[in-house]
Amino acid sequence: MVETSYKSEQIFEWLSEVADPEIPVLTITDLGIVRDVDCSDGVTVSLTPTYSGCPATEVIEASVVAALEEQGVSDVRIRRVLSPPWTTDWISQEGRDKLRIYGIAPPERREGPIVCPRCESGQTERVSEFGSTACKAAYRCRDCLEPFEYFKCL
């Protein structure tokens, strides 16, 4: 017999395996874009895109449906939530640690220099306001001389 009743905790656990297509070391739960899971009538996953024009939004939504269908969930709906808008404050500490290990400086809401994720030096300079995606800026460390990206605060 196929189980048709799911618990939101189980769905969240499965969603914690769905990688962000732009930064694959992060999951969508690391990013904090999974806002809610409702299992009262099938499964509805509420997602908040990182910004309204994010090109990865539809890919993420399709990945969520595919991941849950792989677990046997046949009735999956996506609800796109735009308010309140996503903020980098929603990135988990684990997600921030993953960014740093991957070589991307995580967003910081504090005064002072952006710290190099490789050598932890504060002697850094912005090279460009935009990095590989609109949500990141390009930096260079003056101490280790390595380029890196900074995930901008939103």
- Please write the tens of the pLDDT for every residue from 61-83: 999 999 999 999 999 999 999 99
Q: Is residue 46 a part of any domain in this protein?
A: yes
CA atoms of 154 and 22, how far apart (whole Å): 17
**Which residues constitute the domain of residue 68?**
8-86
| Residue at which a domain ends, from 86, 115, 130 | 86
Task: Please tell me the total count of domains within the chain.
Answer: 2
pLDDT at residue 133 in the model: 84
Q: Which neighbouring-strand residues pair with 150?
A: 105, 137
Amino acid identity, position 22? E
Q: Are residues 16 and 81 in the same domain?
A: yes
pLDDT at residue 109 in the model: 87
Q: Are residues 75 and 132 in the same domain?
A: no
pLDDT at position 52 over 90: no
| Residue at which a domain ends, from 29, 62, 86 | 86
- What is the pLDDT confidence band of residue 154, given thresholds at 50, 70 and 90? confident
DSSP category for residue 9: H
The two three-digit tokens of residue 12, written as one number: 């969240």
Q: What does the pLDDT average to over 11-16?
A: 97
Q: What does the pLDDT average to over 12-34?
A: 97
Q: Are residues 18 and 63 in the same domain?
A: yes
Q: Is residue 2 a part of any domain in this protein?
A: no
pTM of the entire predicted model: 0.89
- Please write the tens of the pLDDT for every residue from 86-138: 999 999 999 999 999 999 999 998 889 999 999 999 999 999 999 988 889 99
The two three-digit tokens of residue 22, written as one number: 């732009």
Q: What does the pLDDT average to over 141-146?
A: 98
| CATH code where residue 67 lies | 3.30.300.130
Mean pLDDT over the full length of the chain: 94
N-terminal to C-terminal alpha carbon distance within the chain: 46
